[in-house]
């Protein structure tokens, strides 16, 4: 196996002597063969003595490499190393002797095509789209899948600017995680080319492409919502207040760096709630609840404009710096938009998600540490609520310890200081100490010295300190769940409940009520039947409510829900819903065969990342 990157155990890139600073991508989409083909030109800074440039690649068909100058192209020798099952193949491009007798910058072009094993992209047949007429393609490069989209130094320790041209068959259009610079007329062959530029440095996992029958509706001075024409009106209505979110971010953190904040609502197989691709957030259609009740996912993705995109974790071992900070900012933004009780309410939900994630792994599992050791590990395997919610817990704890005013000052300084950089946990911690010392002196340093840093960062399991959150908005939900729990031993007690119990609940309050029920012992089937009769939970179109309701039913092996679960699994590809429901169906009485059959039927419709993870969950090949 090739040498591992000095800054990143999940990359082969030799960033100690060769660092990409700019990527220029020219690709054409071939929907018949389900490939992208063309070239990538890398601007690479070489340290003196460098004799090769090592790129990451995975299932890529390399057709040639060359030096590029203004007037010529000089072919280069290259070696594609044997494939590692988790990290792909190192692509070592040999440099002619004397190339780096001193520090220098070169342009290297790689001609290539993706293959049908590309894990970054999903090609959808027309029938898998909302419109049913045109095909669709989209990418999801986080964590280490950019290397299957283009040969690159696929490590967040390195950030690049990029330019691109994407050629597609009309009437399809291409969008990217960049500013659109223009588009060509349709050629005699029915093709048109879209041109993009990303002037702000990003890690390669934020390079994103979507191609489809796409329309956009402007919803703000710097925001357009894109989707297939059939749902663009609904999407624009759902996300009509995005400018308010941007303004809050600018008030609490710093000016918005990226120029545009557009949204793309993808087909249902998109595996995540959202992906913070710069200039163009990708979101799941499961957010289109019709009442803006799930728009907080957009607040989360927007918060990534600062945490993750502007200030980036140096590698996936420090992923909590991306996600913990993003959840912290998301909830601060929500407090500004809706009031502090809503931040506290979100934190209560998060606490439950963290408990579930730790329970799933086991208290002693290394993936429940905040800083995760990933030598030889696929970062996708460590993906859970832990970096999000344990990271939030630490930042909230520090905010309460140091005072909200001091922490708000520090937050602004942190993002200003590290903007455009990739950092690790030690750098984060050192800046916290330096800032508090400079502005507040020994008093705050003494407080920071009392923090059990090793327990927070490096010990598995629950956080060493349990934060206490205001239960004002959660109290009614908790009380109702407790009433159902107390009534479990008596069918007569069911008469105490009525449709009005949840009539005034918001959707998030219904979620908390169901969360609390799900944390209790499985309920008798009589009680589940009554609950559904009163609250019409099986009829809900809200994905968050459906997930929790199906969870309660499957925990009790309530068989009338099984076909509804299978139907839900056929409608969505979001891993937050798909993975736990497959696991629960698999464990439910007489549910195993249905879980296996349903997955076999749906596997090809899921995104490759989702399909791989569910296969692991169900122990199938």
- The model's pLDDT over 71-108, given as tens digits with 9 standing for 90+, comes to 889 999 999 999 999 999 999 999 999 999 999 999 99
Tell me whether residue 295 is in a domain: no
525 is in an annotated binding site: no
Q: Is 142 annotated as a binding residue?
A: yes
Run of H or E residues at 610: helix 608-618
Q: Are residues 369 and 476 in the same domain?
A: no
| 553 alpha-carbon distance from chain centroid | 28
Which structure tokens are listed for 544?
Answer: 């968050």
Pairing of strands 60-68, 104-114: antiparallel
Q: Average pLDDT in the 316-320 region?
A: 98
Give the mean pLDDT of 507-524: 95
Angle 320-338/391-402 helices, nearest 10 degrees? 60
Tell whether residue 243 is among the known ligand binding residues. Answer: no
Average pLDDT over residues 326-346: 97
**Region of 165 on the Ramachandran plot (φ > 0 left; ψ -120 to 50 alpha; else beta):** beta
* 274 marked ligand binding residue: yes
Is 323 annotated to bind a ligand? Reply is: yes
Judgement on whether residues 489 and 425 belong to the same structural domain of the protein: no
Asked if residue 401 belongs to a domain, the reply is yes
User: Do 196 and 93 share a structural domain?
Assistant: yes
Q: Is 275 annotated as a binding residue?
A: yes
Residue 435, domain member (yes or no) = yes
What's the whole-number average pLDDT of the chain?
Answer: 97
N- to C-terminal Cα separation, the chain: 25
The 10s digit of each residue's pLDDT in 388-423 is 999 999 999 999 999 999 999 999 999 999 999 999
Closest to 349 (Cα-Cα) out of 309, 294, 400, 398: 294
Report pLDDT digits (tens) over 30-64: 999 999 999 999 999 999 999 999 999 999 999 99
Catalytic residue among 78, 205, 306, 388: 388
- Residue 276 in marked binding region: yes
Within-domain flag for 109:
yes
- Segment 228-285, tens digit of pLDDT: 999 999 999 999 999 999 999 999 999 999 999 999 999 998 888 899 999 999 999 9
CATH number at residue 495: 1.25.40.320
Q: State the CB neighbour count (10 A cutoff) for residue 518.
A: 21
- Residue 1 confidence (pLDDT) above 80: no
Q: Closest Cα partner for 281 from 295, 269, 521?
A: 295
Which residue among 183, 209, 235 closes a domain?
Answer: 209
Given 215, 228, 301, 377, the catalytic residue: 301
Q: Domain for residue 60, yes or no?
A: yes
- Do 355 and 467 form a contact (C-beta atoms < 8 A)? no
Domain CATH code at residue 30: 2.60.40.1730
To the question of whether residue 102 is assigned a binding role by annotation, the answer is no
Is 304 annotated to bind ligand?
yes
For this structure, is 491 an active site residue? no
- Judge whether 463 is annotated as a binding position: no
> Is the domain of 508 the same as that of 412?
no
Q: Counting beta carbons within 10 angstroms of the beta carbon of residue 386, is it exposed (0 to 12), middle (13 to 18) or buried (19 or more)?
A: buried
The answer to whether residues 59 and 166 belong to one domain is yes
Same domain, 586 and 507: yes
> Do 115 and 9 belong together in one domain?
yes
Is 261 among the residues known to form the active site? no
Tell me whether residue 463 is in a domain: no
Domain span at residue 384? 306-458
Mean pLDDT of 482-510: 94
Same domain flag for 453 and 367: yes
Is 1 annotated for ligand binding? no
Task: Answer with the one of 157, 191, 209 that is the final residue of a domain.
Answer: 209
What is the DSSP pairing of strand 262-265 with strand 223-227?
Answer: parallel
Among 174, 209, 244, residue at a domain's last position = 209
Same-domain check for residues 5 and 35: yes
pLDDT digits (tens, 9 = 90+) for 536-568: 999 998 999 999 999 999 999 999 999 999 999
> Which residues make Cβ contacts (< 8 Å) with residue 490, sequence separation at least 6?
none
Give the number of residues written for the chain. 621
Task: Give the number of domains in the chain.
Answer: 3
pLDDT band per the 50, 70, 90 thresholds, residue 592: very high
Question: What pLDDT does 104 receive?
Answer: 96
Strand extents, DSSP E, 280-387 = 280-283, 312-313
Judged against a pLDDT cut of 90, whether residue 289 lies above it is answered with no
**pLDDT tens, 272-283?**
889 999 999 999
Q: Pick from 53, 46, 119, 48: which is nearest to 611 by CA?
A: 119
Of 163, 217, 173, whose CA–CA distance to 24 is shortest? 163
194: helix, coil or strand? strand
229 within some domain: no
Does residue 181 lie within any of the structural domains? yes
Local confidence band at 384 (pLDDT 50, 70, 90 cut-offs):
very high
CATH number of the domain within which 448 lies: 1.10.390.10
Q: What integer pLDDT is reported at residue 363 of this predicted model?
A: 97
Confidence at residue 292, expressed as pLDDT on a 0 to 100 scale: 85
Tell whether 174 and 60 lie within a shared domain: yes
pLDDT of residue 271: 87
Judgement on whether residues 372 and 349 belong to the same structural domain of the protein: yes
Helix, strand or coil, per DSSP, at residue 30: strand
Which helix (H) or strand (E) segment holds residue 427: the answer is: helix 425-440
For residues 545 and 573, membership in a common domain is answered with yes
Nearest alpha carbon to residue 226 among 245, 205, 211:
211
């Amino acid at each position: 196996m090739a040498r591992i990157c000095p800054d990143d155990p999940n990359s082969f890139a030799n960033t100690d002597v060769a660092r990409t600073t700019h990527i220029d991508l020219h690709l054409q989409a071939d929907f018949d063969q389900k490939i992208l083909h063309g070239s990538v030109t890398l601007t690479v800074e070489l340290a003196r003595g460098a004799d090769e440039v090592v790129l990451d690649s995975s299932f890529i068909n390399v057709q040639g490499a060359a030096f590029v100058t203004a007037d010529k192209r000089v072919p280069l020798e290259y070696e594609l190393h044997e494939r590692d099952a988790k990290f792909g193949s190192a692509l070592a491009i040999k440099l002619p002797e004397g190339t780096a007798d001193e520090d220098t910058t070169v342009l290297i072009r790689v001609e290539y095509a993706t293959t049908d094993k590309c894990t970054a992209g999903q090609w959808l047949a027309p029938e898998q789209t909302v419109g049913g007429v045109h095909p669709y393609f989209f990418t999801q490069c986080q964590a280490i899948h950019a290397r299957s989209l283009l040969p690159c130094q696929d490590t967040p320790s390195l950030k690049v600017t990029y330019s691109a041209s994407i050629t597609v068959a009309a009437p399809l259009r291409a969008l990217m995680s960049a500013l659109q610079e223009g588009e060509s007329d349709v050629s005699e062959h029915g093709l048109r080319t879209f041109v993009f530029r990303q002037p702000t440095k990003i890690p390669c996992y934020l390079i994103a492409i979507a191609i489809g029958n796409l329309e956009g509706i402007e919803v703000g001075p710097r925001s357009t919502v894109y989707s297939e024409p059939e749902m663009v009106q609904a999407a624009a209505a759902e996300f009509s207040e995005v400018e308010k979110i941007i303004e809050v971010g600018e008030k609490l953190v710093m000016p918005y760096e990226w120029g545009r904040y557009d949204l793309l609502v993808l087909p249902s197989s998109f595996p995540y709630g959202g992906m913070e691709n710069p200039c163009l957030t990708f979101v799941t259609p499961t957010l289109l609840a019709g009442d803006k009740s799930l728009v907080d996912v957009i607040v989360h993705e927007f918060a990534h404009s600062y945490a993750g995109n502007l200030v980036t974790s140096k590698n996936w071992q420090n992923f909590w710096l991306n996600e913990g900070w993003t959840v912290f900012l998301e909830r601060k933004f929500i407090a500004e938009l809706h009031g502090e009780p809503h931040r506290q309410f979100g934190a209560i939900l998060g606490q439950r998600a963290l408990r579930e994630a730790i329970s799933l792994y086991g208290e002693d599992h290394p993936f429940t540490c905040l800083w995760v050791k990933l030598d030889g590990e696929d970062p996708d395997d460590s993906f859970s609520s832990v970096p999000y919610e344990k990271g939030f817990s630490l930042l909230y704890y520090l905010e309460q310890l140091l005072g909200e005013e001091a922490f708000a000052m520090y937050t602004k300084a942190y993002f200003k200081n590290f903007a455009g950089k990739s950092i690790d946990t030690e750098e984060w911690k050192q800046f916290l100490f330096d800032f508090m010392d400079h502005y507040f002196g020994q008093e705050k340093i003494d407080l920071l010295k009392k923090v059990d840093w090793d327990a927070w960062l490096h010990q598995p399991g629950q956080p060493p300190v349990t934060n206490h959150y205001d239960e004002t908005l959660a109290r009614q939900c908790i009380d109702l769940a407790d009433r159902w729990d107390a009534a479990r031993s008596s069918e007569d007690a069911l008469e105490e409940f009525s449709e009005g119990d949840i009539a005034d609940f918001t959707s998030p309050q219904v979620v908390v009520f169901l969360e609390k029920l799900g944390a209790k012992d499985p309920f008798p089937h009589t009680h589940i039947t009554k609950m559904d009769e009163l609250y019409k939970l099986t009829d809900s179109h809200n994905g968050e409510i459906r997930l929790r309701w199906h969870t309660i039913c499957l925990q009790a092996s309530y068989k009338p829900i099984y076909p509804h679960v299978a139907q839900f699994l056929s409608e969505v590809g979001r891993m937050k819903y798909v993975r736990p429901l497959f696991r629960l169906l698999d464990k439910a009485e007489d549910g195993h065969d249905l879980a296996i059959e349903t997955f076999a039927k749906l596997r090809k419709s899921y995104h490759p990342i989702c399909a791989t993870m569910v296969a692991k969950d169900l122990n199938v090949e």
